[in-house]
Amino acid sequence: MPERRRRDLLTPLLAALAVILVLAFHVFRPFVLAFAVAACVALLLGPVQRRLAALLGGRRGLAASLLVSITTVVILIPVLTSLFLLARQATIFLEWVQTQPVVQPEDVRRLWVQLPERYPNLRAWILYAQAQVTPVLAGGLTELAGGADGLLRRVLARVTHAAADLGLFLLMLFFLLRDGGRLRAELRPVSPFSEEQERQMFDHLDRTIKGALQAVVVVPVIQGILAGIGFVVFGVPSPFLWGTAVILAATVPIVGSPLGWVPACVYLLVKGASGPALGLFVYSLLVVSGSDNVIKPLLLRGSARIHPLLGFLSILGGVLAFGVFGFLIGPVVLSLVLSAIRIYRLDVLREGASAAAATIEREAPPLSSAPPAA
């Protein structure tokens, strides 16, 4: 085909392809999030799928069915149980807030009366804080409790939608586990990356997803469980609710789990239980926060190393953009960006430097051994 004819056909072809891609995006947009999460989980379960299929005589469909069933049981039962306990204890806590001020005056009075006589300024500051801060916090928590009913109704209204998303996720996970290798083989001819670049990218993705799950899910959950044990031992009410707060706080870089357990210590101190408050503080400092230095090096061994700030921003941005599953999608997007930069730095720039060096060497005049003429 002549070059001019090819260029004339290329423009309308690219325009038609752009229109088709836009239409396809609008058609499949409701399922993009479920597909992305299923692809991440399928990437993690890929080695297990291959080994299980080999044990079952190459039956990939049966292996995928078993993995999806196990994933459903392992994930669904703990999540539903945790949501039930969290909703129950949150309801009890909100009912308590509606019947009491955030800090009872007699508790504050007991605290500052017990202060030594040599701290009159501190005692005066506590009185001032009680007068200024307590009404504000009590009003805010009362408004929160008043809006809890509407919040619970909205949550219940999304249960059906969440169940449909879960079914779609499991269906996509099954097909990606069964046909993922064939899908990659079909897409490889149109991929702009070489086979080695694809291998590096998928390897980095796999290690990033593992690191994100372990750093954002496994480590905070372990710290929340340890904190919950301490809350039960030292008499903190609604220990599961406080433990959930520790799990959420543990995902925040630099500060971490103390955002969850320090308020519990303050609560016990204000209630007059100075002994349990001190015990909970020491336990949380040594066991809960100290476990971070032991668990993370063990779990994150072999995972992709990402700067804590970049990891936190990717998780936060992912949650804001995609909801609860953003904690997984955000690090995946970050991994793709880092992989693209790495490929550009190691391959494109290196090839460009090599080509430039070859050009200079080819165009340089040959060195003459003869001395220049006088």
Locate all alpha helices (DSSP H) within the chain, ordered by sequence. 3-28, 32-55, 60-99, 105-113, 120-146, 148-157, 159-187, 195-213, 219-233, 239-250, 258-270, 274-283, 292-299, 308-322, 326-343, 349-363
- Neighbour tally for 265: CB within 10 Å: 24
pLDDT at 115: 57
d(CA 147, CA 12): 56
Q: For the chain, how many structural domains are there in total?
A: 1
pLDDT at 368: 47
Tell me the residue range of the domain where 224 lies: 191-354
For residue 289, pLDDT beyond 50: yes
Closest CA to 156 of 74, 87, 79, 241: 87
Provide the pLDDT confidence category of residue 43 given band limits of 50, 70 and 90.
confident
pLDDT at 255: 76
When pLDDT is averaged across residues 205-218 and rounded to a whole number, the result is 73
For residue 374, pLDDT beyond 50: no
When pLDDT is averaged across residues 304-309 and rounded to a whole number, the result is 66
pLDDT at 229: 92
- In terms of average pLDDT, the best of 57-66, 142-151, 155-164, 332-341 is 57-66
Classify residue 95: in a domain, yes or no: no
Task: Give the chain's mean pLDDT.
Answer: 74
For residue 208, pLDDT beyond 60: yes
Classify residue 221: in a domain, yes or no: yes
When pLDDT is averaged across residues 191-214 and rounded to a whole number, the result is 74
d(CA 327, CA 320): 9
When pLDDT is averaged across residues 109-122 and rounded to a whole number, the result is 57
Of the listed ranges 8-17, 157-166, 246-255, 260-269, the least confidently predicted one is 157-166
Task: Please list, residue by residue across 100-137, b when 16 or more beta carbons sit within 10 angstroms of its beta carbon and e when fewer do.
Answer: eebbeeeebeebbeeeeeeeeeebeebeeebeeebeee
Percent of the chain predicted with pLDDT > 90: 1
Classify residue 24: in a domain, yes or no: no
Report CA-CA distances (Å) from 55 to 46, 74, 176, 255, 348: 14, 22, 19, 46, 42
Of the listed ranges 57-66, 107-116, 157-166, 173-182, the least confidently predicted one is 107-116
When pLDDT is averaged across residues 362-370 and rounded to a whole number, the result is 51
One DSSP character per residue, 17-79 reads HHHHHHHHHHHHGGGHHHHHHHHHHHHHHHHHHHHHHHHTTS-HHHHHHHHHHHHHHHHHHHH
When pLDDT is averaged across residues 238-262 and rounded to a whole number, the result is 82
Q: Are 274 and 112 in contact (CB under 8 A)?
A: no
Classify residue 228: in a domain, yes or no: yes
Classify residue 269: in a domain, yes or no: yes
| Residue showing tokens 């307590």 | 134
Provide the pLDDT confidence category of residue 85 given band limits of 50, 70 and 90.
confident
pLDDT at 358: 56
Q: Are 217 and 328 in contact (CB under 8 A)?
A: no
For residue 292, pLDDT beyond 70: yes
Q: What's CA 133's distance to the chain center, in Å?
A: 34
One DSSP character per residue, 139-180 reads HHHHHHHHTHHHHHHHHHHTHHHHHHHHHHHHHHHHHHHHHH
Find all residues with CB under 8 Å of 146, minimum gap 6, and list them.
98
When pLDDT is averaged across residues 294-306 and rounded to a whole number, the result is 66
pLDDT at 45: 84
Q: Are 123 and 112 in contact (CB under 8 A)?
A: yes
Closest CA to 203 of 339, 323, 106, 365: 339
Find all residues with CB under 8 Å of 366, minimum gap 6, and list them.
none
For residue 370, pLDDT beyond 70: no
Find all residues with CB under 8 Å of 79, minimum gap 6, and list them.
none
Classify residue 367: in a domain, yes or no: no
- In terms of average pLDDT, the best of 4-8, 99-103, 122-126, 242-246 is 242-246
